[in-house]
């Protein structure tokens, strides 16, 4: 079993978290295989996926050390506990639910809470959140991240929404710890057509862009 510190390190490197809203639970295994082949090992299975807890358990058991299987769209404590029990290695909420923090901490799992304002972001950090999910980030952009980090450089920011392969470098240059990539990576078209080779190609593009931005 990986330590919390090891999980945090892997979330930051390569720093691309796939936000998976699968149309059916059976898609989780093949899409995860495709993502891993492309270098994206952090896979956030959202609770909007049908039978998400069972899908998390199956993916965790199948991929083991090959991937980081996490849970997303967590908005209550019961779901948080169930997902961790099923094998989720990290927890993501789109909102600032501070009561989820002690649950994740007790299980030694990193947690990412959603925030939109500097006050929310700092409050989540002070309460013990390991990462701050800036959501929806598409209305804010990399300049907002840069501005936010000027007075609050200690925050591990993870923008989600509006992140794609063409602009991922801009987010990293602004100082993010990682990015969350949803439909721009795992699109509904890829899911409906089971276009797994295309998903692997997109994953490689994201990882390459992230790596290049970190080196420059």
pLDDT at 180 over 90: yes
Residue-wise over 111-132: b if at least 16 C-beta within 10 A, else e?
Answer: bbbbbbeeebbbbbbebebbbb
Domains of the chain, each with CATH number or no CATH = 4-215 (3.20.20.70)
Pick the catalytic residue from 33, 44, 58, 89: 44
pLDDT at 214 over 90: no
Instruction: Label residue 216 by pLDDT band (50, 70, 90).
Output: confident
Give the mean pLDDT of 136-153: 97
* Cβ–Cβ < 8 Å for 2, 198: no
Give the mean pLDDT of 99-108: 98
Instruction: Label residue 1 by pLDDT band (50, 70, 90).
Output: confident
CB atoms within 10 A of CB 64: 10
Indicate if 133 belongs to the active site.
Answer: yes
Indicate if 24 belongs to the active site.
Answer: no
134: left (phi over 0), alpha (psi -120 to 50) or beta: beta
Instruction: Label residue 158 by pLDDT band (50, 70, 90).
Output: very high
Instruction: Label residue 86 by pLDDT band (50, 70, 90).
Output: very high
- Per DSSP, 48 falls in state T
**What is the model's pLDDT at position 171?**
97
Look at residues 127, 99, 129 and name the one whose alpha carbon lies nearest to residue 114.
129
Pick the catalytic residue from 33, 58, 89, 133: 133
Q: What is the pLDDT of residues 36-79, one digit of tens each?
A: 999 999 999 999 999 999 999 999 999 999 999 999 999 999 99
Instruction: Label residue 215 by pLDDT band (50, 70, 90).
Output: confident
pTM here is 0.97
């Amino acid at each position: 079993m990986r330590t919390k510190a090891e999980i945090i390190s892997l979330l930051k490197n390569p720093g691309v978290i796939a936000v998976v809203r699968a149309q059916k639970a059976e898609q989780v295994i093949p899409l995860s295989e495709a993502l891993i082949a492309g270098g994206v090992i952090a896979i956030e299975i959202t609770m909007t996926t049908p039978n998400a807890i069972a899908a998390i358990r199956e993916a965790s058991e199948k991929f083991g050390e090959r991937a980081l299987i996490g849970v997303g769209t967590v908005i209550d404590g019961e779901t948080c506990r169930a997902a961790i029990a099923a094998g989720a290695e990290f927890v993501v909420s789109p909102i600032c639910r501070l009561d989820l923090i002690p649950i994740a901490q007790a299980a030694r799992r990193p947690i990412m809470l959603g925030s939109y304002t500097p006050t929310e972001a700092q409050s989540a950090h002070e309460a013990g959140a390991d990462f701050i999910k800036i959501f929806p980030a598409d209305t804010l952009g990399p300049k907002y991240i840069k501005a936010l980090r000027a007075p609050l450089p200690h925050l591990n920011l993870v923008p989600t929404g509006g992140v794609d392969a063409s602009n991922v470098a801009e987010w990293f240059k602004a100082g993010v710890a990682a990015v969350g990539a949803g439909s721009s990576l795992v699109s509904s078209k890829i899911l409906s057509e089971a276009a797994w080779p295309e998903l692997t190609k997109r994953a490689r593009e994201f990882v390459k862009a992230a790596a290049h931005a970190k080196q420059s």
